[in-house]
Each structure stands twice: as structure tokens, then as C-alpha cells.
Chain A
Amino acid sequence: QSVMTQPPSVSGAPGQRVTVSCTGGSSNLGAGYDVHWYQQLPGSAPKLLIYGTNNRPSGVPDRFSGSKSGTSASLAITGLQAEDEADYYCQSYDSSLSGYVFGTGTGVTV
């Protein structure tokens, strides 16, 4: 089981704003490790969406943004579009496990 928890699903109408939460603990997000977010479209490999809490790789729309506070992080999608329907995962490093950890994943429905 993952040490970082996300809601199984969130939904919103086109144009709306949705947020995906990621709750960690004192050995990952709470220890100050960076959080990253990935988007996985149906049938595809994951894609880096946000790195270092709130940085977008080239080509990622500015509708996607991230934040982090203490042991939690969030991904916000504004101006929701049909193409945003996908699974989203947070990821960080865990010092007690000495390895990377992914969140449980959230399915976004538009």
C-alpha cells in the first residue's frame, strides 16, 4: 500500500476548476522532499505534468498548477477540458523507505 494517499476520483464540468489532493507523511512530503505530478491518459504511459511542486515541463498548459504545504500537496486544473480526463499521480521520495513513492492515483472525469 502507498504511503501517499489521493482521492480515488474527482469530477467537474468543462471549464470548471478541480483539485486533486495528495496526503503524505513526515518521511516524504513533511520532510521537505519535492512533489511531482503525472498524467496518465487511458492506454498510455504516464507523462510528467508538474515537477518540483509547481513547475511545468515545456508543452504543459498553464491550466495545470501545483502547491504544497506541510505533509500535503495539490494539483489544480482550471478551465477543465475533455482531454484532461485521465489518471493523475503524485510522487515524491520517502526517507524511511529509501526510495520513490507514488500516490494512490486519482481519476479525473470531465
Chain B
Amino acid sequence: EVQLVESGGGLVKPGGSLRLSCVASEFRFSSYSMNWVRQAPGKGLEWVSSISANSNYINYADSVKGRFTITRDNAQNSLHLQMNSLRAEDTAMYYCVRDRYYGNSGHDHWGQGTLVTVSS
């Protein structure tokens, strides 16, 4: 069974940094595009960033562009999100999400999420 396990969330002050990680198992990680999707408390889903299987294509939502960096390590089956200059509005549950196939094909597997709280 495909597993995606996030870690690295926590409480951080505005302006601070945090690095989220996601470890994947039970599938060929190096063959799939991956994403981070977040959900603020009581709010809807917001796509944050995507990275292609070989890291050649990377996209960010305008709300995080210039502050967040997505990377992956196919040898370690891991996905990361470096978050800098954090703001209160970045407070959310962050999900590690696999694309079903290349491109806009749907996100077929989601982790359970890691909670990021930005507050002084």
C-alpha cells in the first residue's frame, strides 16, 4: 500500500523558517510528480507547489513564490518543502500528495499531513 508520511511541522514565529519532509514507500517514487497541498484551519484546499519526477519542472502558488522551495531526493524516496519568511497566513495542515500520472491527472495518494502554526 502506498504510504506518504509527513514530518517537520510545528510552531514557528512570524519571519521564521521550517523544513517539511515526506517519506514515500511502496511505490516507485522516482517515477511520479509530487506536490504539497495545504489547508488552513476550517478552510479549503490550496495547492502550494509541484515538482516533476526528475525535478526538471517546479511550480509554486503565487502566495508562496520566493519564500518556499520544493525539492526531492529520489535516492531517499523523500520530498521536502523549505519554508522561509513564514507568515500567519501560512498556518495550515500541509499534505504531501502524489500525482496519479503525469500532468493534470489527479492526486491519487495523500499523506495524513503535518501541522504548521505561525504565531508569536
The interface of chain A, by Cβ under 8 A from chain B, is: 2, 33-34, 36, 38, 40, 45-48, 51-52, 57, 89, 91-93, 97-105
Contact = CB atoms under 8 A, between A and B. Distances in A.
A46 B110 contact: yes
Contacts of B107: 36, 38, 46, 48, 91
A81 to B, nearest CB: 22
B45 A46 contact: yes
A33 B104 contact: yes
How big is the B interface, by class?
A: 20 to 34
Contacts of A98: 59
Interface of B: 35, 37, 44-47, 50, 59-62, 95, 100, 103-113
Contacts, number: 65
A99 B61 contact: yes
Contacts of A33: 104
B108 A34 contact: no
Contact of A102 (B46, B59, B100, B105): B46
Given A100-B35, A100-B50, A48 B44 contact: no
Contact of B111 (A45, A93, A104, A105): A45
